[in-house]
């Protein structure tokens, strides 16, 4: 009897200190409270159904008492925000930022230390973060663990890649939460984290779907001066805990008050389109820190690049290495003055903004997997790459050159040389750089996803902004909306790109239907679509590798994979060969006024229509996974009363990503806002549509 009485009292106390924050739509409710021992906790309901059960919050510190239990709430501050802002480049020209916010100010009774937990609740999800206010009792501190929990309500379908502190370049696994098992994967890339004490480490964003049709996504925003958050999943009870990436000596983050953690985000909706179209991650980042952004421009580019990946030419001068640094016998060097001019001519002829050249600088003979600190100097061209002549030629053709800085993971070396490298770019008029971080990080022991590397990836665009240079990083930690703050950070790879199709078992047809729900939530991806010669046997009859899509789907990716930096990655001769299909890549825009996600299902399909910035042209991309798909879309996004011409690039009758990938059809029809279009997609296929107003 006495026990029941105590229990009732405890429940009452819990109920009394529970406070709620709701989304503007009132569909999402967050309940925040302190547990009986004073530990902050939260839970989330969507349409009155629990989606996150009571989950604990807290931070463990090195050498001192944790910031977890013994707290009391000293103040609660609410605010509602509804504002809008204009991204420099984006999927839409105006972004709404609408949420309800509550700041819970806490004090730890035993130590007197202060901690705030801030919630922002949007219509499509919840965000919260830890704030460490300036205080004498907590000045400089070391985070040894973050104890944030996300306790799920069921055995959801999950799209996951294994935890790996150095890479996200994995194929997604689609399993129940209970079936997550990194140890079973045959991992050949990097050093994936094995199970730890019955828990499996996976990466975020973690996209899920519940049995009753709710879409859930756990991610983070504004990762600045903090390590990347992976997730520990206990597969027996669907409990998830944050897993911060350590540094060389096992510490997670070094902070000094005032400081904040990144935002932890939980998106939830019964409509998958609400997740892919959400701008919550961008909204949670700071506004642009660049005042004059006039030099930040969308770019479509070609490059001396794919020809190396498919083994036609090489990065190094001796002509002996392919993409995986295997010896390939003698092949020509790709980055010669003559070959670069050929690409410049091609870009000029077909209206591309830029040309990327890899293998232009000395160092490629021995750059990979060797722990060499000084591989590249980023300033010395190979003797057969006449940088002055090339930049003069590009200028005369109104084509911009894109620099390549492969660091081979030697970040110490790159930071030392960064200003000199940027000065060379300035001197020769290169407005954009593609950086690369292949291999293990030097200084040794650091990981791509640790705090110091996160700082590096944020530092390079800041530094580059001083030179009015745009940045596209490969092998960086994945972006978390930072392009709002540094809009010259126009793209990143940070997932498994199209290139894997050239020299590995590739990306299965489902891959591109998952990325918009995961990697792309954090910002634009340099996926490098546009492969027309789908099968690598084209280059070498003994090769079995191939792109796992039809040609038409490669076109659709220019619309479904948002990026203001888009490569037409195939070789000029392959585009000349399929010139009618190439027309779509020439026409498609890379910066948009509006984006309408018409259909979406993670792992299955995606259809999006986008209006080109400052124009009445629309482009539609529809993709499917390994299953053929028929659908009908309404063109009601078009201006009523206006006439348009639609050019439809679709899979041919016998198209199939594996059996007949290059089979496509192009037709032109008249359309208007009342039109309905039937789309027919092959297995691994897609449809791309250009819609132009008729004068």
Query: Interface with ligand NOJ by CB under 6 A: which residues?
Result: 305, 358, 406, 436, 438, 474, 493, 497, 499
**Residue 557 CB neighbour total at 10 angstroms:** 23
Q: What is each CA distance from 149 to 118, 145, 158, 526, 694, in whole angstroms?
A: 16, 12, 17, 32, 55
Of the pair 312, 438, the CB lying nearest ligand NOJ is at 438
Closest CA to 571 of 298, 300, 299, 313: 313
In the complex, minimum distance from the CB of residue 437 to Ca ion, in angstroms, rounded to a whole number: 9
Q: Least separation, in Å, of the C-beta of 309 and ligand NOJ?
A: 7
Q: Nearest-CA neighbor of 59 among 137, 135, 130, 146?
A: 146
- Residue closer to ligand NOJ (CB basis): 107 or 438: 438
Nearest to 244 by CA among 159, 334, 130, 337: 130
Footprint of Ca ion on residues 486-505 (CB under 5 A)? 493
- Name the binder of 91 from Ca ion, ligand NOJ, none, CB < 5-8 A by kind: none
Provide, rounded to whole angstroms, the least separation between the CB of residue 511 and Ca ion: 14
Shortest distance, position 561 Cβ to ligand NOJ, whole Å: 15
Pairing verdict, β 489-492 and 149-152:
unpaired
Nearest CA to 460 out of 441, 484, 476, 480 is that of 476
Q: How far is the CB of 207 from ligand NOJ (least distance, A)?
A: 23
Residue number closest to Ca ion, CB atom = 474
Cα separation, 221 vs 129, in Å, equals 10
For the CB of residue 599, give the shortest distance to ligand NOJ in the complex, in Å. 30
The C-alpha atoms of residue 344 and residue 573 are separated, in whole angstroms, by 14
CB nearer to ligand NOJ: pick between 247 and 321: 321
Using the minimum distance from each CB to ligand NOJ, give the nearer residue, 182 or 435. Answer: 435
The minimum distance between CB 404 and ligand NOJ, in angstroms, equals 7
Residue placing its CB nearer to Ca ion in the complex, 334 or 502: 502
Binding flag, residue 478, Ca ion (CB under 5 A)? no
Query: Alpha helices, DSSP H only, in 181-303?
Result: 272-276, 280-283
Secondary structure letter of residue 47 according to DSSP: T
Task: Say if strands 489-492 and 470-474 run parallel, antiparallel, or are unpaired.
Answer: parallel
- Tell me the three state secondary structure of residue 583: helix
Q: In this structure, are residues 144 and 418 in contact, taking their beta carbons and an 8 Å threshold?
A: no
Q: Distance of CA 509 to CAs 34, 428, 513, 684, Å?
A: 46, 40, 8, 5
Tokens 């999006």 correspond to what residue? 608
Shortest CB 369 distance to ligand NOJ, Å:
12
Q: Give the 3-state DSSP-derived string for 404-439, with helices as H, strands as E and coil as C.
A: EEECCCEHHHHHHHHHHHHHHHHHHCCCEEEEECCC
Residue 224, contacted partner among ligand NOJ, Ca ion, none, CB below 5-8 A by kind: none
Residue 358 touches which of Ca ion, ligand NOJ, none (Cβ within 5-8 Å per kind): ligand NOJ
Q: Which is nearer to Ca ion, 168 or 488 (CB)?
A: 168
**Binding partner of residue 519 among ligand NOJ, Ca ion, none, CB under 5 to 8 Å per kind?**
none
> Under a CB-based contact definition with an 8 Å cutoff, are residues 143 and 251 in contact?
yes
Catalytic residue list contains 665 = no
Q: Of the ranges 193-201, 211-219, 400-408, 471-479, which one interacts with Ca ion (CB under 5 A)?
A: 471-479
**Residue 149 binding result from Ca ion, ligand NOJ, none, given CB thresholds of 5 to 8 Å by partner type:** none
Nearer to Ca ion, 246 or 439 (CB): 439
Counting DSSP H helices and E strands in the chain, the numbers are 13, 36
Strand 618-624 relative to strand 629-634, pairing: unpaired
DSSP conformation letters of 201-212? EEESSEEEE-TT
Which residue number, 120 or 405, has a Cβ lying nearer to Ca ion?
Answer: 405
Q: What is the C-alpha separation between 40 and 148, in angstroms, rounded?
A: 10
> Which of 499, 512, 533, 545 does the annotation list as catalytic?
499
HEC secondary structure over 295-330? CCCCEEEEEECHHHHCCCCECCCCCCECCCCCECCC
- When the beta carbons of 91 and 493 are compared against ligand NOJ, the nearer one is 493
Three-point CA angle 321, 324, 326, nearest 5°: 45
Whether 181 contacts 195, CB under 8 Å: yes
For the CB of residue 308, give the shortest distance to ligand NOJ in the complex, in Å.
Answer: 7
| Rounded Cα distance, 677 and 635, in Å | 8
What does 625 bind: Ca ion, ligand NOJ, none (CB cut-off 5 to 8 Å by kind)?
A: none
Closest CA to 692 of 652, 643, 658, 659: 643
| Nearest residue (CB) to ligand NOJ, 167 versus 451 | 167
Tokens of 402: 């894109």
- Chain centroid to CA 623: how far? 19
Instruction: Give the DSSP H or E segment for 346.
Output: helix 337-350
Residue holding tokens 């104890």? 147
**For residue 69, is the peptide bond before it cis, meaning its omega torsion is within 30 degrees of 0?**
no
**35: number of Cβ within 10 Å:** 18
Query: Measured in Å, how far apart are the chain's first and last C-alpha atoms?
Result: 83
**Cα 85 → chain centroid:** 21
Q: Can you tell me the distance from the alpha carbon of 373 to that of 538, in angstroms, rounded to the nearest whole number?
A: 37
Sign for the pseudo-dihedral over CA of 643, 644, 645, 650: negative
436 binds, among ligand NOJ, Ca ion, none (CB under 5 to 8 A by kind): ligand NOJ
Q: Which is nearer to ligand NOJ, 99 or 305 (CB)?
A: 305
Q: How far is the CB of 290 from ligand NOJ (least distance, A)?
A: 26
The residue within the footprint of Ca ion, chosen from 199, 209, 404, 474 (CB under 5 A), is 474
In whole angstroms, how close is the CB of 337 to ligand NOJ at the nearest point?
20
Give the nearer residue to ligand NOJ in terms of CB position, either 572 or 685.
Answer: 572
* Smallest separation, CB 76 to Ca ion (Å): 46
Residue 406's binding partner out of Ca ion, ligand NOJ, none, with CB under 5 to 8 Å set by partner kind:
ligand NOJ
Active site members = 499
* Residues within the interface to Ca ion (CB under 5 A): 474, 493
């Amino acid at each position: 009897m006495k026990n029941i009485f105590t229990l009732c009292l405890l429940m009452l106390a819990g109920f009394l200190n529970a406070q709620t924050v709701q989304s503007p739509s009132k569909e999402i409710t967050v309940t925040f409270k302190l547990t009986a021992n004073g530990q902050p906790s939260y839970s989330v309901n969507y349409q009155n159904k629990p989606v996150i059960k009571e989950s604990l919050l807290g931070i463990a510190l090195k050498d001192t008492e944790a910031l977890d239990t013994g707290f009391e709430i000293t103040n609660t501050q609410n605010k509602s925000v509804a504002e809008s802002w204009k991204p420099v480049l984006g999927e839409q020209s105006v972004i709404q930022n609408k949420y309800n916010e509550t700041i819970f100010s806490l004090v730890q009774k035993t130590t007197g230390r202060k901690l705030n937990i801030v919630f922002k609740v949007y219509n499509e999800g919840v965000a919260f973060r830890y704030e460490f206010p300036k205080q004498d009792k907590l000045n400089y501190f070391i985070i040894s663990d973050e104890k944030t929990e996300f306790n799920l309500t069921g055995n959801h379908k999950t799209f996951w890649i294994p935890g790996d502190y150095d890479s996200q370049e994995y194929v997604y696994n689609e399993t129940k939460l209970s079936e997550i098992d990194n140890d079973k994967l045959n991992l050949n890339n990097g050093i994936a984290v094995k199970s730890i004490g019955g828990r499996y480490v996976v990466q975020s964003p973690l996209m899920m779907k519940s049995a009753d049709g709710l879409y859930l996504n756990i991610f983070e925003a504004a990762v600045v001066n903090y390590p990347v958050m992976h997730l520990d999943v206990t597969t027996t009870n669907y409990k998830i805990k944050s897993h911060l990436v350590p540094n060389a000596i096992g510490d997670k983050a070094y902070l000094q008050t005032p400081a904040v953690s990144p935002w932890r985000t939980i998106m939830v909706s019964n409509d998958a389109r609400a997740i892919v179209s959400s701008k919550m991650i961008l909204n949670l980042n700071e506004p642009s820190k660049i005042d004059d952004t006039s030099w930040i421009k969308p770019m479509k580019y070609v490059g001396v690049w794919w020809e190396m990946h498919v083994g036609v030419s090489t990065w190094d001068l001796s002509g002996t290495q392919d993409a995986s640094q295997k010896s390939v016998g003698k092949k020509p060097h790709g980055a010669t003055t003559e070959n670069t001019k050929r690409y410049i001519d091609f870009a000029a002829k077909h209206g591309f903004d830029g040309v990327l050249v890899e293998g232009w600088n000395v160092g490629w003979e021995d750059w990979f997997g060797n722990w060499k600190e000084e591989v590249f100097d980023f300033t010395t061209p190979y003797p057969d790459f006449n940088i002055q002549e090339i930049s003069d030629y590009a200028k005369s053709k109104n084509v911009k050159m894109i620099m390549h800085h492969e660091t081979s993971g030697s970040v110490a070396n790159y930071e030392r040389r960064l200003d000199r490298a940027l000065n060379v770019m300035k001197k020769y008029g290169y407005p954009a750089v593609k950086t690369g971080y292949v291999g293990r990080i030097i200084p040794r022991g650091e990981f791509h996803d640790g705090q110091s590397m996160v700082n590096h990836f944020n530092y390079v665009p800041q530094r580059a902004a001083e030179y009015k240079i745009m940045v596209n990083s490969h092998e960086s930690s994945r972006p978390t909306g930072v392009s709002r703050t540094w809009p010259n950070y126009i793209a990143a790879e940070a997932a498994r790109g199209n290139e894997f199709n050239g020299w590995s078992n590739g990306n299965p047809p489902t891959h591109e239907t998952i990325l918009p729900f995961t990697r792309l939530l954090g910002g634009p991806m340099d996926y490098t679509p546009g492969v027309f010669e789908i099968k690598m046997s084209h280059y070498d009859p003994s090769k079995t590798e191939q792109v796992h899509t039809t040609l038409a789907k490669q076109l659709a990716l220019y619309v479904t994979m948002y990026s203001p930096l888009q490569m037409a990655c195939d070789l000029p001769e392959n585009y000349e060969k399929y010139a009618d299909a190439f027309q779509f890549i020439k026409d498609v825009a890379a910066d948009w006024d509006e984006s309408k996600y018409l259909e979406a299902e993670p792992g299955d399909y995606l259809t999006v229509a986008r209006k080109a910035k400052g124009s009445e042209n629309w482009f539609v991309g529809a993709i499917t996974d390994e299953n053929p798909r028929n659908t009908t879309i309404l063109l009601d996004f078009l201006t009523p009363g206006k006439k348009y011409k639609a050019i439809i690039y679709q899979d041919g009758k016998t198209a199939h990503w594996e059996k007949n990938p290059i089979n496509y059809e192009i037709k032109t029809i008249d359309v208007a806002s009342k039109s309905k279009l039937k789309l027919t997609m092959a297995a691994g296929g897609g449809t791309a549509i250009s819609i132009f107003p008729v004068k």
